[in-house]
């Protein structure tokens, strides 16, 4: 039975997640290189004849009008620039909300998670958000269990993807469920992706610790990065990663030549420095966002680590 996908494109949507997702379906769903829609069908839903502009400037025209969400097995919102207000027309919003009420699975590629969250459709769900946007997302949508340590997340009838090449991995998940992992691997090879990454695969690590190699250490850093304003105990970080505290200590010592607690503090000080360098955030607010109990405590730790006071950094901007 053919699996039908509908894509709803936000204004200034990101083109690469859409392209990678569709090409994975296209290459996996047919023999050879004939691009027939044998196992999968995909449509761009919207107002016919009205082009939708991507953030790159390329425009796409919807292939089908907005009608019945139950005609599709999966509906995906492709997000775009976060500065864009009212990123979807009212008819598209109504289409997605109707799909959710009728139990049609709804998901998001890239910043499409922001669109779904604004509708309240991710409340109480786990969601994958890019590490680049996770702090903004968590502050705006506290009822969503957002994390940046997975490429994509499947939680009941919601699928979310961090964006970029992760869209191909999410598509491969649907392909594997429908026609098997062998065809998903075929699509991955043709796209010159080194492998299919499953739901446990990590987002690329942050630049602050490029020497981190093992999955446990990289995932621990991402868990820390996702919890800067309210820092976790190191034992809780280890539990989230699935290792003992002692093992995490050893891994950090070997790979990063530091302890998990010191690495966590480095991440918090890095965030504080970036906030101060914008010249727009008061020291007290920076202290709060970086997880310190008071501005005084923050100033003492910041000076000990960087050799400068927060006020000096702020004054230099």
Q: Where are the domains of the chain?
A: 3-190, 205-317
- Alpha helix segments (H runs only) across the chain: 15-28, 90-101, 112-118, 134-140, 166-179, 181-190, 215-225, 234-241, 245-256, 260-277, 283-289, 295-306, 310-315
Please give the CATH superfamily to which domain 205-317 belongs: Homeodomain-like (1.10.10.60)
Quote the pLDDT of residue 200.
60
pLDDT score, position 315:
77
Domain 3-190 has CATH 3.40.50.300: no
Task: With beta carbons less than 8 A apart as the criterion, state whether 41 and 2 touch.
Answer: yes
Q: Give me the pLDDT at residue 192, please.
A: 66
Pairing type for strands 52-53 and 59-60 reads antiparallel
Distance CA 115, CA 120 (A): 9
pLDDT at 313 (0 to 100):
83
In this structure, what DSSP letter does residue 1 have? -
> Roughly what angle, to the nearest 10 degrees, separates helices 260-277 and 234-241?
100
Report residues of the chain scoring pLDDT below 70. 32-34, 84-86, 149, 191-192, 194-207, 317
- For residue 66, the model assigns a pLDDT of 93
DSSP 8-state code for residue 67: -
Q: What is the pLDDT of residue 205?
A: 47
CA-based torsion, 87, 154, 17, 150: positive or negative: positive
pLDDT at 185: 76
d(CA 11, CA 8): 10
Cα–Cα distance measured from residue 117 to residue 49, given in angstroms and rounded to the nearest whole number: 28
């Amino acid at each position: 039975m053919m699996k039908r996908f509908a894509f709803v494109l936000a204004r200034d949507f990101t083109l690469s997640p859409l392209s990678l997702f569709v090409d994975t379906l296209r290459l996996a769903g047919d023999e050879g290189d004939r691009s027939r829609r044998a196992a999968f069908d995909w449509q761009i839903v919207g107002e016919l004849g009205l082009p939708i502009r991507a953030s790159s400037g390329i425009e796409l025209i919807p292939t089908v009008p907005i009608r019945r969400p139950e005609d599709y097995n999966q509906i995906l919102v492709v997000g775009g620039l976060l500065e864009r207000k009212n990123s979807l027309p009212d008819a598209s919003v109504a289409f997605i909300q109707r799909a959710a009420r009728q139990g049609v699975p709804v998901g998001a590629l890239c910043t499409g998670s922001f669109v779904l969250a604004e509708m309240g459709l991710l409340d109480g769900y786990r969601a994958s958000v890019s590490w680049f946007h996770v702090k903004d997302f968590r502050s705006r949508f506290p009822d969503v269990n957002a994390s940046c340590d997975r490429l994509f997340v499947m939680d009941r009838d919601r699928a979310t993807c961090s964006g970029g090449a992760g869209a191909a991995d999410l598509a491969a998940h649907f392909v594997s469920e429908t026609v098997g992992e062998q065809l998903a691997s075929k699509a991955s090879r043709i796209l010159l992706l080194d492998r299919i990454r499953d739901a446990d695969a990590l987002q690329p690590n942050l630049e602050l610790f490029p020497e981190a190699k093992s999955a446990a250490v990289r995932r621990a850093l991402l868990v820390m990065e996702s919890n800067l304003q309210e820092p976790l105990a190191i034992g809780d970080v280890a539990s989230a990663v699935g290792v003992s505290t002692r093992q995490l200590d050893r891994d950090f010592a070997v790979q990063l030549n530091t302890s998990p607690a010191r690495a966590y503090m480095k991440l918090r000080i890095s965030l504080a420095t970036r906030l101060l360098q914008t010249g727009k955030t008061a020291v007290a607010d920076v202290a709060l966002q970086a997880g310190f109990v008071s501005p005084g405590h923050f100033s003492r730790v910041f000076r000990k680590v960087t050799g400068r006071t927060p006020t000096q950094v702020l004054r230099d901007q």
